[in-house]
Amino acid sequence: MQNDDQLYCDPALVGFYDIENGWADDTAFCLRLGSEVQSILDLGCGTGLLAAALAAGGHSVTGVDPACAMLDVARQREGGDAATFVAADARMLRLESRYDLVVLTGHAYQVFLSDEDQLAVLRTIAYHLAPGGRFIFDSRNPAAREWLEWQPENSLRMIEHPQHGTVKAWNTAAFDEPSGIVTYETHYQQASGGERWSATSRIRFTEKGRLEALLGEAGLVADQWLGDWKGAAFSPASPEIIPIGRLG
């Protein structure tokens, strides 16, 4: 796992995060799940979009992320003062509370680059589940080979930044098949040819069968496997692998 990925640690790059990764189907899905319970642990909460929305609705929410620059945004957003935010590594987190729902979305599971690290974060989920509690997380399906879309010729996009105006953005990506790790670069440059910001990131693509085995080792069981955030059942061609489950 990278603890120094500038995409999440550099305030200048964090300023692009919500523009590119704002409210979407995953946030809406987890908001509905969270609305059914009282207490939620949001692992890898990032800029706190989901955590703040749940807390503003009267739920008890703890958001955890290792990137202080992301948590700075989370605490300042509307509803952020109603949530508790903790700077910590999800592999080693051990809080005193237990939760009705533990979420790990935004593909944060993929920043854990080995079986050992992925198992550690699953054990963190198991540790923090209250009796009858549920978990949900997402990981991109390697069979969909999404990294092929992260190349300059098909990832080029123009975005509007409140401070920097029109900004050109693009990615590059390379896949290492033995490890399942994709190394990708994210680039932003002011359209006027001005300032440029870049970051290099690494994420792991894990097959469903391996995820299922790791869940078992962590003492968890998936009652449902979704293939996207609209609620479709998982199939080999699904873009996502989304287990919803409980303590085993």
Q: Write the DSSP string, 164-200.
A: TEEEEEEEEEEEETTTTEEEEEEEEEETTS--EEEEE
Q: How many other β-carbons are positioned within 10 Å of the β-carbon of residue 58?
A: 10
- Which residues does 145 contact at the CB level (< 8 Å), separation at least 6? 175
Q: pLDDT tens for residues 13-70?
A: 999 999 999 999 999 999 999 999 999 999 999 999 999 999 999 999 999 999 999 9
pLDDT value, residue 192: 83
pLDDT value, residue 1: 52
| Distance, CA of 87 to CA of 46 (rounded, Å) | 10
Residues 122/144, Cβ–Cβ less than 8 Å? no
pLDDT value, residue 4: 78
- Joined tokens for residue 41: 């642990």
Phi, psi values for residue 69, rounded to 5°: -65, -35
Bridge partners of 190, per DSSP, are: 167
pLDDT value, residue 2: 55
22-27: long-range contacts (C-beta < 8 A, 24 or more apart)? 22/49, 23/49, 24/229, 25/228, 25/229, 25/230, 26/105, 26/106, 26/138, 26/229, 27/53, 27/105
**How many helices and strands (H and E) does the chain possess?**
9, 12
Task: State the pairing for strand pair 129-137/240-247.
Answer: antiparallel
pTM across the whole model:
0.96
| Distance, CA of 177 to CA of 94 (rounded, Å) | 33
CA-wise closest residue to 43 among 114, 128, 157? 128
pLDDT per residue, tens digit, the chain (248 aa), is 556 799 999 999 999 999 999 999 999 999 999 999 999 999 999 999 999 999 999 999 999 999 999 999 999 999 999 999 999 999 999 999 999 999 999 999 999 999 999 999 999 999 999 999 999 999 999 999 999 999 999 999 999 999 999 999 999 999 999 999 999 999 999 988 889 999 999 999 999 999 999 999 999 999 999 999 999 999 999 999 999 999 99
Residues 143/121, Cβ–Cβ less than 8 Å? no
How open is the CA angle 31-33-37, to the nearest 5 degrees?
105
